[in-house]
Amino acid sequence: MLSAWGMALLQALLYPALAPLLIGWVRKVKARLNNRRGASVLQPYRDLRKLLAKETRVAHTASPLFRLAPYVVFVATWLAAATVPLVARDLPTAQIADIIVLVGLLGLARFFLALAGMDVGTAFGGMGASREMMVSSLAEPAMLVAVFTLAMSAHSTSLSSVIGYHLADGFVVRPSYLFAFGALVLVALAESGRIPVDNPTTHLELTMIHEGMLLEYTGRHLALMELAAYLKLMLYGVLIANVFVPWGIGQAFAPAALALGLGAILLKLAVLGAALAVGETVVAKMRLFRAPAFLNLALLLALLGLLSHVILEVGA
């Protein structure tokens, strides 16, 4: 029991330790694809360290909520991440929160992020908050239906059980998983603010969503917000990798299994990160009002996954 909690703690610490690396990796691959050399993969760590050392400034017009929000956003995102099995499957933290709670925790983080965007009272913050809430309100049903598809086959909403069920079955071709995979990828792109819904590198005020809400943040507040965004990307990556390709994840707390699990997840994330970089290089950002069509596609995929589960996989 104690070792399990120890493992859970260790894994929870691995998330913030690895998340900047993933971002650095994606940026590096992207730079290479653009024929640039790009910054080192460790650059995000340096950015965070620099932000922490800098002075924090807060607008005159900001309320106490503005200073509270980075902590809420970061903490909620981290707790959400801690419930997703990373290197080992059977964690006590996965019992605290099932996948619906995970969506809820991310919702809590988003709620405070959007409020913080509206707090200072500039137009950009409001714009970012409004757009973020539109995107998320369309992405959330798609995400939940995709998750329900998985949960309906595994008869459980606990991530450990879903992964365990999938592992126990061996290799089965499931149309529903394919559709759910597609839906979750689209949702992950939209929710973690990547191309084609949002552009993480832009600072052109009229097109940004996530950056718009962070515009007033500096110093350690910004560091927390940025790290939360990194965590969110990694969370979605791990979720997709470990649910759809669970092989390699540690089934026991033996050192060998854990080492294998760590290696496997690093490999999976490297592949996913590279795929993301390729995708972002090939595809252009779309107009804001194309985003509903994009998310509608995600919802459609999720619904098709659900229906193909009911119609094709179970039978009446």
Partner 1 sequence: MSLTQLPLLEQFVLLQAALVLFLSFGLLSQTRLLAAIHAFAWQGALIAAVTLTVAIAGHAHHLYFSALLTLALKAMLIPWMLHRLVRRLALERHTETLSHPALVSMAAVALVIFSYWVVVPIVAEELTFTRNIVAVSLAVVLIGLLMLVARQQAVAQVLGFMSMENGLFLAAVSATAGMPLVVELGVAFDVLVAMVLFGVFFFQIRDSIDSLDVDRLNRLTETEEETP
Partner 2 sequence: MNMHPALSLALLALTLALASALVALPAARWPRALRWASLPLLGLSGVAASGAGLWALVEGLDLGLVLPLGLPWLPWHLQLDALAGFFLALIGILVTAAGIYGPAYVRGLENGRESLAALGGFSGLFVAGMLLVVLAADAFVFMVAWELMSLASYFLVAFHHDNPANRRAAFLYLLMAHVGGLAILLGFGVLAAFAGGFEFTLLREAALSTSWASLCFALVLLGFGMKAGLVPLHAWLPEAHPVAPSHISALMSGAMLKVAVYGFVRVVFDLIGQFHWQWGVVMLAVGSLSALTGVLFAMMQSDLKRLLAYSSVENLGIIFIALGLAVLFMATGHPTLAALAFVAALYHAINHALFKGLLFLGAGAVLHSTHERDLEQMGGLLRRMPWTGLFFLIGCVAISALPPLNGFVSEWLTFQAALQAWQLDSGVLRSLIPIVSAVLALTGALVAATFVKVYGVAFLGQARSRHVRRARAVPLGMRWGQGLLALFCVLLGVLPTQVIALLDPVAVAVVGTGLPQAAAGGWLWLTPVSAETASYSAPLSILLLALIAGAAILWARRGRVRRVRRCDPWDCGLTPPTPRMQYSAAAFAQPIRRVFALAFAIDERKPAATDTRPRYRLRIADRAWSLLYVPLAQAVESAARRVVLLQSGNVRVYLGWTLATLLVLLWIIS
How many other CB atoms are found less than 10 A from the CB of residue 92?
A: 14
Site for partner 2 contains 163 (CB under 8 A): no
- CB 276, min distance to partner 2, A: 24
Site for partner 2 contains 15 (CB under 8 A): no
- CB 164, min distance to partner 1, A: 14
- CB 100, min distance to partner 2, A: 5
Calpha distance 168→162 (Å, rounded): 10
Calpha distance 69→64 (Å, rounded): 9
Q: Toward partner 1, which CB reaches closer, 153 or 192?
A: 153
- CB 185, min distance to partner 2, A: 18
Q: Scanning residues 39 to 68, which ones bind partner 2 (CB under 8 A)?
A: 52-65, 67
203 contact choice in partner 1, partner 2, none (CB below 5 to 8 Å, kind-dependent): none
Q: Toward partner 1, which CB reaches closer, 267 or 293?
A: 293
Calpha distance 139→129 (Å, rounded): 15
- What is the b/e burial string over 186-223, where b = at least 16 CB atoms within 10 angstroms of the residue's CB? bbbbbbbbbbbbbbbebeeeebbbbbbbbbbbebbbbb
- CB 158, min distance to partner 2, A: 6
Angle at the Cα of 109 from the Cα atoms of 41 and 190, rounded to 5 degrees: 60
Beta-bridge partner residues of 250: 88
Note the residues at the interface with partner 1 (CB under 8 A): 169-176, 178-179, 292-293, 296, 300-301, 303-304, 307-308, 310-316
Mark residues 250-289: x for contact with partner 2 by CB under 8 A, - for none. --------------------------------------xx
- CB 202, min distance to partner 2, A: 15
Residue 172 burial (C-beta neighbours within 10 Å; 0-12, 13-18, 19+): exposed
Q: Toward partner 1, which CB reaches closer, 254 or 293?
A: 293
Which position among 1, 2, 123, 172 is part of the footprint of partner 2 (CB under 8 A)? 123
Distances (CA, A) of 129 to 35, 83, 89, 100, 209: 34, 27, 35, 23, 7
Alpha-carbon dihedral sign for residues 211, 294, 162, 275: negative
Q: Toward partner 1, which CB reaches closer, 38 or 141?
A: 141
Which position among 6, 137, 169, 290 is part of the footprint of partner 2 (CB under 8 A)? 137
Give which of 92, 121, 145 is closest to 253, Cα–Cα: 92
301 contact choice in partner 1, partner 2, none (CB below 5 to 8 Å, kind-dependent): partner 1
Q: Toward partner 2, which CB reaches closer, 104 or 279?
A: 104
Which position among 114, 185, 231, 235 is part of the footprint of partner 2 (CB under 8 A)? 114
Calpha distance 279→189 (Å, rounded): 10
